[in-house]
Amino acid sequence: MVSRRQTLATGAGLGAGVALGAVLGVAGPAGAAVNPLRRSAFAPLVGAALTLSGSAGRYEVTLVAAPGSDDVFSLRFATSDRVPEGIYRVGHPDLAPVDLFLTPTGPAPDRVEAVVNRSRA
């Protein structure tokens, strides 16, 4: 006999697994990839204009570099505006929307960076 506690724990675990799969880009319903977050998705966009949308506002940026491997990489953006540190939805017509934590880098206020580490230790 399965207790109510076991049932709830199993359901919570399955829900967390589905949510984690969405973040990591694991195939979801019908085998569709959900929110792929890989360097290979961003590398073709180096030099392209993207939008950042967050609680601090909406900003137009240019992806200037995407160094690293497919699972461990950084995204470096240039902008004419000062973009405050925070979570932003990155948008481009050739990219599924993805939320990233961005922070200003260096002494110049016109550069922001996101670091992605999807490695499995």
Domain ranges for the chain: 1-34, 39-117
User: What would the mean pLDDT of 6-14 be, rounded to a whole number?
Assistant: 50
Rounded to whole angstroms, the Cα distance separating 106 from 113 reads 10
Q: What is the pLDDT of residues 55-92, one digit of tens each?
A: 999 999 999 999 999 999 999 999 998 999 999 999 99
What does the radius of gyration of the chain's CA atoms come to, in whole angstroms? 17
Whether this model's pTM surpasses 0.75: no
Placement of tokens 């925070």 in the chain = 86
- Calculate the CA dihedral of residues 62, 64, 68, 72 and round it to 10 degrees: -20
